[in-house]
Amino acid sequence: MANVLVFTELHDGKVKPVTLEILGKLAGQTTDVAVIGDLSSEEVAVLAKHGAANVHKLKGSNLDKYSPEGYANALANFIKSKSYDYVFGGATSMGKDLLPRLATQFDAGLASDVVNFTMDGGVFAGTRPLFAGKCLAKVELTGPKPHFVSIRPNALGMTEGLTAGAGAAHDVAADAGNIRAAIAEIVKAASSKVDLTEANIIVSGGRAMKSAENFKILEELADTIGATVGASRAAVDSGFAPHAMQVGQTGKTVAPSLYIACGISGAIQHLAGMRTSKVIVAINTDPDAPIFTKADYGIVGDLFTIVPIMKEEFKKLLGK
Amino acid sequence: MNIFVCVKQVPDTETKITPTADGSFIETNSIKWIMNPYDEFAVEQALLVKASNPAANVTVVRVGSVKDTEALRTAMAMGADDAILVEAQDNLDSYSIAKALKGAIEKSGKKPDMILTGKQAIDDDALQVPQVLAQMLDLPSVSVIVGFELSGSTVKVKREIEGGALEVYAVNTPCLLAANKGLNTPRYASLPGIMKAKKKPLAQYSLSDVGVTDADRRVKYSGFRLPPEKPAGKKFDATDAAKQKEVVAQVVGLLRTEAKVI
């Protein structure tokens, strides 16, 4: 059995779902959670229900906003005061930026973007996609401890039949240390929608969307089913959508429950970014488009007529 | 001003990947190699800085196999001044690569004022080397940057986070910045540039020259395999306008009753 720390990020004061996926999968280990900042007793209870023995709330000056150095320093000092075998976190924007820095403070290794793992005998062994999902490999860690692991959101899924932990909350005085790269401002408020990498449902548009304005019909479908809108590289390169929306090898790698590809032919570099979606629906006028080989449900037809009908059908289904 | 750009050579995005028979890595013989696409933005940014600071020197550094030096020659053809290649196998882990880059930069004798990298390499997709290197060199770093403004020794950069929001950082040099698509538009190498690149200095080191040994490995990969193929799905013809509503209703129904995702 291993001693494990899970670092959790907050979104609107709530722990991110990836934290709960990780906790569920770590059943059988001794697992603590660390958060930077405050956490409500309701959220501590959620963590306890998913197996957290202790919840450490790291508080100190210069930690109100994320900074790579401040967060890494605060967590490093805390981790040094304990004896964890493993530190887990989500492979989110913050996790991807923070965890490599943090691991290097211990000269330790990080297995990043892991999609599944076992802890047999308290030893981590994971699976992760490489070459943008064109192949999979087993990943193991060696060298100084603690070992670090980042988990791709949505990949593990939620565990059923949870084993609860004590969930004892502790305030910990934290030191951000010397911060040389600090956020001066946030220029654009984050959209209320979930980011593509964490989205449960994605509606994506390709070159066949023809214009940026036409993405409106995808937005409307997305709003109906609580989805986030994505785009193919062809659509981004044609100026129909910003790069932040790009799904694929040079965009974002996503793993939603449902991926609806509209007017996307399915170039290998796009498939690489979305092939691990649980269910794929493809809408394309070309019956031979490669996307249909990966689709669970393929609809051969014009997206400009199919998408609005689909929106209405979902509305009916969801009683909206 | 010394600018270092770290580049990696990766399989082209359209390349088919085949694991080796023993699963220890992938077949590398038939691959078309390119400069990691995100690194092109880093090279371009370095050249833009050099354009307004003519005294600046741009060195590109790569850790990888010698069978092709495409990425380094491309960077020099675009306008980088010199290059360093640390010879290594292609499946090195992030920690070893970062340590080799650190060793190569130190061995060059030039004190870095700025290090630019791509935000990730599209082969192992680890997203580690920029931050690990920054930590090893004790430099501030900002990753996933889409905006860059240098005035004096301060760089104002924009970092893209979830939902397309941007964090603005002000960082003093020396620092490390990891580029995302959208930062700039990389130039193409001109023919005279390609000719000139052939004469530019390319220093070559071994891993032991830069102080990296097998003991530096932190992540072990094995069992490379293709992902399981999905069984063929169901395909519906909705080209006939009269049938469209019926077909779409059927698919939407199946998403609930069969796929259970909505």
Predicted model pTM: 0.92
Does residue A37 have a pLDDT over 80? yes
Question: What is the set of domains in chain A, with CATH numbers?
Answer: 3-173 (3.40.50.620), 196-318 (3.40.50.1220)
Q: What per-residue confidence (pLDDT) applies to A191?
A: 62
Q: What domains can be seen in chain B, in order of their start residue?
A: 2-216 (3.40.50.620), 232-262 (no CATH)
Find, in chain A, the residue whose alpha carbon is nearest to that of B251: A297
262 residues of chain B, pLDDT tens digit each: 999 999 999 999 888 899 999 999 999 988 888 999 999 999 999 999 999 999 999 999 999 998 778 899 999 999 999 999 999 988 899 999 999 999 999 999 999 999 999 999 999 999 999 999 999 999 999 999 999 999 999 999 999 888 778 999 999 999 999 999 989 999 999 999 999 999 999 999 999 999 999 999 999 999 999 998 878 799 999 999 999 999 999 999 999 999 999 9
Q: A310: nearest CA in chain B?
A: B248
Contact: A139, B16; criterion CB under 8 Å: no
| pLDDT recorded at residue A249 | 86
Contact A139 B220 (CB under 8 A): yes
| Cβ contacts of A108 on chain B, cutoff 8 Å | 218
Interface test with B, best of A10, A117, A135 (most B CBs within 10 A): A135
pLDDT of residue A192: 64
Can you give the pLDDT at residue A7?
A: 98
CB pairs < 8 Å spanning A and B:
277
Hey, are the CB atoms on B164 and A245 less than 8 Å from each other?
A: yes
Query: Is omega for the bond preceding A146 within 30 degrees of 0, making it cis?
Result: yes
Residue of A nearest to B36 (CA): A250
Which of B94, B171, B220 is nearest residue A180 as measured by Cβ atoms?
Answer: B171
Of A109, A184, A244, the CB nearest to B160: A244
Mean pLDDT of A7-31: 96
Q: Which residues of A touch B16 (CB under 8 A)?
A: 134, 268
Q: What average pLDDT score do residues A224-238 get?
A: 96
Query: How would residue A93 be classed by pLDDT, with cut points 50, 70 and 90?
Result: very high
Of B132, B160, B220, the CB nearest to A142: B220
pLDDT tens readout for residues A147-166 = 999 999 999 999 998 999 99
| Average pLDDT, rounded, for chain A | 95
Which of A109, A225, A251 faces B262 most closely, judged by CB atoms? A225
CB contact under 8 A, B227 and A298: no
Q: Residue B131 is nearest to which of A101, A130, A299, comparing CB atoms?
A: A101
Could you say which of B140, B224, B239 has the minimum Cβ distance to residue A69?
B140
Per-residue pLDDT, averaged over A230-250, amounts to: 93
Residues of A in contact with B37 (CB under 8 A): 250
Contact B144 A257 (CB under 8 A): no
- pLDDT tens for each residue of B34-50: 999 999 999 999 999 99
3-state secondary structure chain A: CCEEEEEECEECCEECHHHHHHHHHCCCCEEEEEEECCCCHHHHHHHHHCCCCEEEEEECCCCCCCCHHHHHHHHHHHHHCCCCCEEEEECCHHHHHHHHHHHHHCCCCEEEEECEEECHHHCCEEEEEECCCCEEEEEEECCCCCEEEEECCCCCCCCCCCCCCCCEEEEEECCCCCCCCEEEEEEECCCCCCCHHHCCEEEEECHHHCCCCCHHHHHHHHHHHCCEEEECHHHHHCCCCCHHHEECCCCECCCCCEEEEECCCCCHHHHHHHCCCCEEEEEECCCCCCHHHHCCEEEECCHHHHHHHHHHHHHHHHCC
Q: Is A267 within 8 Å of B175 when comparing Cβ atoms?
A: no
Q: Determine the pLDDT at residue B69.
A: 80
Determine the distance in angstroms separating the CA of B191 from the nearest CA of chain A, rounded to an integer.
26
Query: Is residue A189 predicted with pLDDT exceeding 60?
Result: no
Mean predicted confidence (pLDDT) in A167-189: 92
- Best of A99, A309, A314, A320 to disrupt the B interface (most B CBs within 10 Å) is A309
Contact A137 B221 (CB under 8 A): yes
CA gap A55, A92 in Å, rounded? 21
* Residues of chain A with C-beta less than 8 angstroms from the C-beta of B224: 130, 135-137
Does residue A190 surpass a pLDDT of 60?
no
- Interface-testing mutation among A145, A279, A303, A311, with chain B (most B C-beta atoms within 10 A): A279
